[in-house]
Structure 1
Amino acid sequence: MRKWIFPIFLVFGVLLVACSTDTSVETEQTKVRVGIRSSELRTWEYVKEQASKEGIEIEIVNFSSAYDPNQALIEGDIDINAFQHVAYLDSFNENTNSEIVPIGTTIIAPLGLYSSKYEAVSDIPDGAQIAVPNDAPNWGRALLLLQEAGLLTVVADFDGLGGKDKIKDNPKNIEIVPVDSANTPRVMEDTAGSIINNGVSLEAGLTLKDALIYENQTSKPYINVIAARKQDKENETFQKIVKIYQSDNTATFIEETYKGNYLPTSITLEELSTYKETYSNN
């Protein structure tokens, strides 16, 4: 009899452990580390709250301009990030030989031309200095905005990337001054105007209403995205987060919170992939 007692208790113990383990797996939340910049903190706090209702625990990792959330994603410090438009992401991948992919669209944050000296684009004098972000995608984006403003014309084969060699005609002899994007608001006093990314302008207390001109909201290359490592593109938890972000409730929250400065944008990844066609239309 005693020979059977120990095996029976052993089997019973294993079953108890298995049942206990199964229960913990069912109730345990899935944790996802999301890298962002502070300009969209309120949106992600809202998404975090909504995700918790679906058993997803989001940890928001807020990066300063000194550290690139793409690098953090590559190194595994975060699981996904949401801070960049698709043109910037493609440029990063090309320059670093990385494979980060968009998994969903979020917003358009229109870039604007701001000035503390002039009230209209037409007031900007010949030979004036205009500051632009110095990273290639946003520099190119700035040139398209200046073209829309009638201050210059980009080359026929424009590829969306910036550079002084990308200017075809410059009738007012505007001097382009590339600076770090975080410093674009600070140089407004020293220039005729400064082209400032939306998130940076909000942090500086500026809104689109303060801009002399800002981008058309349909600028496809500058749609912001949630991004992940290529191998995680189909991750079901990440896709649930995308769905929460693209919900009507989140769109309403963004519109009310940011007073129209951020425009919720939901298009398919297939449509997003054709963004370079925008350049050939200019």
Structure 2
Amino acid sequence: MILPSFIAVDWGTTRLRASLVGADGSVVATVGSDAGVQSVAAGGFPAALDAACRPWFDADPDLPVLMAGMVGSRNGWAEAPYAPCPAGAEEIAARLLALPGAGRRVSIVPGVDCRWADGAYDVMRGEETQALGTGVRDGLLALPGTHGKWIEMRDGRIARFATFVTGELFAAVSSSFVGRLAAEPHDDPAGAALAAGASKVPGGLTRALFQARARALAGDLPPAGVRPFLSRLMVEAEIAGALDLFGRPDAVHLVSGEPQRSIYRAALAERGLAVHDHDTPTVTLAGLKAIMRAAALGL
């Protein structure tokens, strides 16, 4: 099956990234802009897409567009209903949301939702595309972020997943009374090393977090070490929670960029876990290609 030429769009909260994909699957060109979902006014999404991809539309007005990310949220262009787990490229492609009033052939990738046996409910948008783009058929993926995801893949499909608000928690605590000493412009990695030990102190995360302030007051932790200390503590707690949910794998597939990659790598290595790195833009584009192929096969 030949992949048709199309525009692959990763449209998140703060950024838009679009790639022109040729008939052979190669990337002809890529553009990016700061026209993230949060900065586009209601009704302004078609114009924002046209502004980003104008030369491509001028050359071929009928190019199909496949978009993933928060563009499909209720604050985005249109809300795309979730596809339930387990979900692979075929299941997700079958639930693409077409936008007939967009003036172009535009579709949005649905998010994925997950209901756990204990009643817990989880959702994601954008990460499902990245998960498919890793090419992992069976394994555990970690996608750090404001709302980080851990995704279990089985037979090439998203079997289940869990969200950890590590990034959001770090931002909140860093600006709180606990983290006021974290105003240093440069980070001292010694803080992360100290946090690795503090995470094992009995009493849980909320006790360990106060150690950032207490140890800074005692002189054990330099001000520039506070942010790395807090970050490592929260990452350690996230990893412990994920392994409790999914069990201990032989390796973790880490979808991230710096600095998160180094932070998670160090924490996972300390637990004796192998790490396979995946570049976020690369897997996002690969996932959009996989969904486009599945959609084309379904025509």
Q: What TM-score range do you get, normalising by the shorter chain?
A: under 0.3
* Greater RCO, CA 8 A, separation 6+: 1
Q: Which has the larger radius of gyration?
A: 1
TM-score (norm 2): 0.26
